């Protein structure tokens, strides 16, 4: 069976730019469950399940579309390019 790209999700993470890079987790309250886009990378989304943050990655060239609750083509997603792919660098 072939599925449209907007329905394909993957748990394979992209390579990190450096081993000393940290991206803060999404705040997942212990009493609620929902799916939210990553605040730093439009190709990542978080399934918050009762306090647990489950990180998922869209396939290459796709971004998470919160309206559809799935990965979609970039032209269909309103992503804030000002925060896309920003990382916090941890210096020793």
Query: Within a domain: residue 29?
Result: yes
Contact 62, 77 (CB under 8 A): no
Domain region containing 37: 5-13+25-85
pLDDT digits (tens, 9 = 90+) for 4-57: 555 555 555 555 555 555 555 678 888 888 898 998 899 999 998 888 899 999
pTM: 0.60
CA 41 from chain centre, in angstroms, equals 6
Query: Within a domain: residue 76?
Result: yes
Pick from 34, 69, 79, 72: which is nearest to 53 by CA? 34
- Return d(Cα 34, Cα 80) in angstroms, integer: 20
Q: Scanning the structure block, which residue is given the tokens 């939210």?
A: 36
Residue 89 has what pLDDT? 46
Q: Is the pLDDT of residue 76 over 60?
A: yes
Query: Within a domain: residue 18?
Result: no
Query: Within a domain: residue 20?
Result: no
Question: Mapping DSSP to helix (H, G, I), strand (E, B) and coil, where does residue 25 land?
Answer: coil
Q: Is the pLDDT of residue 60 over 90?
A: yes
Residue 9 belongs to domain with CATH number: 2.170.140
Query: Within a domain: residue 91?
Result: no
- Please tell me the total count of domains within the chain: 1
Whole-number Cα distances in Å, 70 to 21, 89, 92: 26, 29, 37
Residue 85 has what pLDDT? 45
């Amino acid at each position: 069976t072939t599925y449209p790209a907007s329905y394909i999700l993957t748990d394979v993470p992209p390579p990190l730019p450096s081993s000393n890079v940290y991206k803060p987790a999404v705040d997942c309250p212990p009493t609620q469950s929902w799916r939210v886009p990553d605040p730093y990378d439009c190709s990542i989304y978080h399934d918050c399940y009762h306090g647990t943050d489950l990180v998922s990655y869209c396939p290459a060239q796709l971004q998470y579309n919160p309206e559809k609750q799935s990965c979609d083509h970039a032209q269909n997603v309103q992503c804030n390019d000002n925060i896309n792919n920003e990382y916090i660098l941890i210096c020793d």
